Amino acid sequence: MNASVYSITGTKGKEIKLPKSFASKVDFELIKRSFVTMQSNLIQRNGPSRRSGRENTARYVGRRSSRDKIINTEHARLPRMRNRRSILAGTVAGVSHAVGGPRAHRLTPDKITEEKMNRKENRKAIDSAIAATTKIELIKQKHLINENLSLPLIVEAKFEELTKTTEVKKVLEALNVYMDIENSKDKRKIRAGKGKMRGRKYKHKKSLLIVAEKTDNIFRAARNLEGVEVVKAKDLNAMLLAPGGVPGRLTLWTENAINSM
């Protein structure tokens, strides 16, 4: 399977041979599973300590033969603090309905939330998501693109050396993909809820994904474009190639990225 390489001016040049990943079968269920697995591994565990609300001297004594018995003393049969003259003089503690007691249904930080996926299955899911970047019918469902766009979209290695946003913008306009970035900018909206106060005021629409071999320069040049993400070819995953678990993201590959695969 071959594909044409475009110059930074938008003209079609030589053809290169594509890796086998581009010819893989698009498996929607496998891509979704890989996406959910990565999402589950990002969950941050939270919850109180196991001993929270129980770090005290409270103890319940209900035996009749005990000197500190609570039964038949006209007091509630609850654990009471031991730092008093007798057990009956202590305050109730260590139960959820007492002041300072533990929560009745607390969060469990030891709960297992991560899902696991076999390495070969994950690799196959990534190959499947890469193949979906060549299907124009899938990309049209998520992006605003030209009908005559040639996929996969590969640009020469000079693209990785660009250092200014204006230069990247000119290249994307020449390749007829900048309209999707403008569409993403128009759909930016203010988030509802407290997230506005926590550094995530705006909700963004995903746009172009740039895959390169070296991202030092192109990352700084493209990071201000709305919805654009830059990633190294070796760091590709289902979250980048299939946002929301739905394959078919508009992707721009550099020639060096294809060769490194």
Q: What is the per-residue pLDDT across 62-90, written as a single tens digit (0 to 9) for each?
A: 776 666 777 887 888 899 888 766 666 78
**What confidence score (pLDDT) does residue 112 get?**
87
What pTM was computed for the model? Answer: 0.83
Residue 62 pLDDT: 79
Domains in the chain: boundaries: 2-43+117-260, 46-112
- Looking at 27-31, 43-47, 170-174, 245-249, which range is the least confident one? 43-47
CATH 3.40.50.920 describes domain 2-43+117-260: no
pLDDT > 70? residue 177: yes
Query: Shortest CA distance to 223 belongs to which of 239, 236, 208, 201?
Result: 208
* CA neighbours closer than 13 Å in the CB half-sphere of residue 215: 16
* 114-154 residue pLDDT tens: 999 999 999 999 999 999 999 999 999 999 999 889 999 99
Count of CB atoms within 10 A of residue 81's CB? Answer: 16
Question: Which of the pair, 51 or 154, is modelled with greater confidence?
Answer: 154
Distance CA 6, CA 122 (A): 31
What pLDDT shows up at residue 66?
A: 67
